[in-house]
Structure 1
């Protein structure tokens, strides 16, 4: 686990004071999760405080994270190195619950598997997760969250490598060169870092030989061979493969009267895996990753609804420290195209391009 420089004591104390503001019964504490869907001006006498609760909640998670790191450094005799590594999951938990919208299933599964993996004293296998869903539903967003919470420099860390299939491996005729470079980068990163993260975007477009080249790094390692590897390695594969099946299943469940939050992995995983294996448009489902069960979990990202798009718009305003109105959030959400044609339920772009759309509402 890569971490930043030591935090001064005054900073830790200030962060802990912020945490106190979040405790039930503290002055100004509220139990709701943010702005509700109502007209501007209703229940909002001070627009300057829009999003304050969300910011305090995120600050509280950071304060807990920094306190864990601070205590490990001040009282090292009471803190194991693995405990310091797990401190990063506190910020991850907050990010998944506060910043990720409409993905209760993916958020819970990712947090549980990553935390469980980091708790292993010496894992003999990399953690391999495959994210599936429509564009704009949060796959890249979550990958970035993992990098930001597990590494001081996030995606810029020397221990994090991101590969985009169509950018890094565009020409099939050079696949032998790509294989050599890819395996070399993985090996060098694992030798340099105690914990590594490898992200493969557009995974469904990876050449079959590249997928095969990953096999030695994903399977279980014999003790004598694993000594040379990094202690922990996480592989993330991001793909649109199987998104139509996910959307179809979610739509059927909602029509049948299920609440979105009641949808479980068991509802989606069987058909998702079957669709991935049966796909003729990609080699991913026919690769050793799937056939040899090297992927620990196929993580479905659900299609986003109107209410989730509004929350994404709100977050875009807050990230730029801009005021917003409920009418502005509605207008931005209405700009998106919703499908199917009859139900108009799911945003066809998810939350993609939301940050650009708020420019239309700036003075």
Structure 2
């Protein structure tokens, strides 16, 4: 187990606080869910997190934060397995082949390393057959081919539910309430997300037994980002690029990004995506 870091809840809390912006719900749920799971010596099922929200709100970033607080090499650890729907499974006619390969890869990975992590990006575009292959690994006290999956971690990333989350955030803004008042139970937010996935998802999530069998532990909503959050992302990118932080430049970068609704310009269309590309235009 020398690939694992000694898990520290305090370190994860600090990392979420310092490198994730505008996502108080995410920070709270991820901290509690991951800490509880990692400190349980005998969990009765794998940890299954489903991250939902529009582009650039931090879903991939949070998956990386979780990985770097569990593994010494973070996302680059050989026990972190990432699948991107349209890249790894591009042709629907080959779904039966992909399914067989995916099943064997997961079983082999967990057989050799029980604390393996699996990240599935673009879940809303994945074929139902592929998603249903994953289902047996996620159940309570699951054993497949004699392998226990109770210590594994599955993280699903999806844009599904993004519109519902945005509507809730806009409602709060229009009523003059702070976004920090939005909680998981705000107008039954978690229920709305899961219902929206079932109703509108183009991919396998809509008919998936993952949803129907309640195997996902937490649906985690990523709120659309505001101007200040994009500015914070710009400052973080400066630090990452070894550029001395300049808050005036960060704000200019943020203001150059597209926002919606068109008149009010409240939320960033692309979140923090493209911030690094925009940032380089301001420096020689």
- TM-score range relative to shorter protein: over 0.9
The answer on 1:237 being equivalent to 2:156 is: yes
By how many angstroms is 1:172 displaced?
0.8
The answer on 1:315 being equivalent to 2:236 is: yes
The answer on 1:213 being equivalent to 2:213 is: no
Distance in 1 (CA, whole Å) between partners of 2:65 and 2:2 is: 15
8 Å contact kept, 1:202–1:239 = yes
Distance 1:230 1:280, change over 3 A: closer
Residue aligned with 1:333, SS: helix
Alignment of 1:98-109 (within 5 A): 98-109=18-29
Distance 1:225 1:339, change over 3 A: closer
Deviates more, 1:249-258 or 1:162-171: 249-258
**Partner residue of 1:327?**
248
The answer on 1:286 being equivalent to 2:207 is: yes
Q: How many residues align?
A: 282
Larger radius of gyration: 1
Distance in 1 (CA, whole Å) between partners of 2:22 and 2:261 is: 18
Distance in 1 (CA, whole Å) between partners of 2:144 and 2:195 is: 34
The unaligned stretches of length 5 or more in structure 2 are none
Distance in 2 (CA, whole Å) between partners of 1:157 and 1:300 is: 27
Distance in 2 (CA, whole Å) between partners of 1:113 and 1:229 is: 20
TM-score normalized with structure 1 length = 0.74
Match of 2:195 among 274, 291, 310: 274
Q: How far does the alpha carbon of each residue in 1:94-147 deviate from its partner, in whole angstroms, 9 at most, with x for none?
A: 111110000000111011001111122211211111000011000000001111
The answer on 1:123 being equivalent to 2:43 is: yes
**Partner residue of 1:15?**
none
Alignment of 1:63-74 (within 5 A): none
Distance in 2 (CA, whole Å) between partners of 1:181 and 1:331 is: 47
CA RMSD in angstroms, aligned pairs only: 1.7
Q: How far does the alpha carbon of each residue in 1:128-170 deviate from its partner, in whole angstroms, 9 at most, with x for none?
A: 1100001100000000111111111122212110000000000
TM-score normalized with structure 2 length = 0.94
The answer on 1:354 being equivalent to 2:275 is: yes
8 Å contact kept, 2:57–2:224 = yes
Residue aligned with 1:264, SS: coil
The unaligned stretches of length 5 or more in structure 1 are 5-68, 70-83
**Partner residue of 1:180?**
100
8 Å contact kept, 1:306–1:333 = yes
**Partner residue of 1:79?**
none
Distance in 1 (CA, whole Å) between partners of 2:146 and 2:106 is: 15
Match of 2:33 among 104, 113, 117: 113
8 Å contact kept, 1:193–1:230 = no
Residue aligned with 1:122, SS: coil
Distance in 1 (CA, whole Å) between partners of 2:63 and 2:247 is: 30
Q: How far does the alpha carbon of each residue in 1:307-332 deviate from its partner, in whole angstroms, 9 at most, with x for none?
A: 00100000111111212433211210
Alignment of 1:1-363 (within 5 A): 2-3=2-3, 84=6, 86-87=7-8, 89-221=9-141, 228-229=147-148, 232-267=151-186, 268-279=189-200, 281-363=202-284
Deviates more, 1:134-143 or 1:350-359: 350-359
Residue aligned with 1:265, SS: coil
8 Å contact kept, 2:164–2:196 = yes
Residue aligned with 1:161, SS: strand
Residue aligned with 2:148, SS: coil
Distance in 1 (CA, whole Å) between partners of 2:122 and 2:116 is: 20
Flag the structure with more relative contact order, 1 or 2, with Cα contacts below 8 A and sequence separation at least 6: 2
By how many angstroms is 1:2 displaced?
4.4
8 Å contact kept, 1:2–1:150 = no
